[in-house]
Amino acid sequence: MARPSSAFSAGRIVERSAAIVAFLVLWELLPRLGVISEAYLSPFSVVAATVWELLSSGAAWEHGSASLSRSLSGLLLAAAGGIALGLLIGWFRRVEALLDPLLQLFRQISAFALLPVFILFLGIGEASKTAIILWASFWPILLNTVGGVRSADKLLIDSARSMGASQAYLFFRVILPSAAPSIFTGIRLGGANCITALVAAEMIGASAGLGFYTLNSQEIFQIPDMYAGILLLAAMGLLLNYVLAWVERRFTRWRRGLAAHG
């Protein structure tokens, strides 16, 4: 009985990895066959060897830790501000009426467009780098938090009110748990944005970081190193996403339990 299950699992693994394998084969063959010049696209095997050298020498850990520190700082600040403000806007209609027009204006402004402003006010140190990441990560967290509060089950809210529940009890025991999945979705989207904004952040007077390493390699035309930096950035983004998904599962286990019993 175990064989069909094992075969099914192996088939799923092959199916899910087929596109990645095909992409890597194309990446290897196109420059090798001269379809794309190796001056612009290094073969995957060369890039993989460069990644291994960076890992072995410790350079990847040095640049990766600098980038991770900046990313987490910006993301944590964005989560704190986005969740707090999102809960206020979602729960209090007057707060929404007051702040929504301004927030709708601000969220149209890209973090990249604000790069000169952050440099002007905060200089080229860590504060401006953190601010760029914070700005890029803040908006999906805010919007998903507001959406989560608004989508809370009205029947549960009315039932709690009919039993004399206080506003504080209603907020912390009904609204917040109901909004938790949407909040975590916003945090994961913010995590993806913070990795994207990291490259822009590390354009500002950085001397370490994967974004800095990638851009610097491009400037000095070390193409294998440039692609190695891109791969390491992608790996860091995937790692961050998996960690956030694990945290989400830990904090929302009760919802899966309810769904299973339902």
pLDDT value at position 151? 82
Q: What share of the chain is helix, strand, coil (3-state, %, to 5)?
A: 85, 0, 15
Is a pLDDT exceeding 90 seen at residue 100?
A: no
Is the pLDDT at 26 greater than 90, yes or no?
yes
CA-CA-CA-CA torsion sign (30, 32, 35, 41) = positive
The whole-number pLDDT of residue 49 equals: 96
**Per-position DSSP letters for 50-84, written without gaps between them:** HHHHHHHHTHHHHHHHHHHHHHHHHHHHHHHHHHH
Q: Could you list the beta-strand ranges (E) of the chain.
A: none
Which phi and psi angles does 75 have, rounded to 5°? -70, -40
- Mean per-residue pLDDT over the chain, rounded: 86
Given a cut of 90, whether residue 93 has pLDDT beyond it is no
Asked if residue 54 lies in contact with residue 232, where contact means CB atoms within 8 angstroms, the answer is yes
Mean pLDDT of 189-206: 87
8 A C-beta contact, residue 57 and residue 117? no
**CATH no., domain 43-261:** 1.10.3720.10
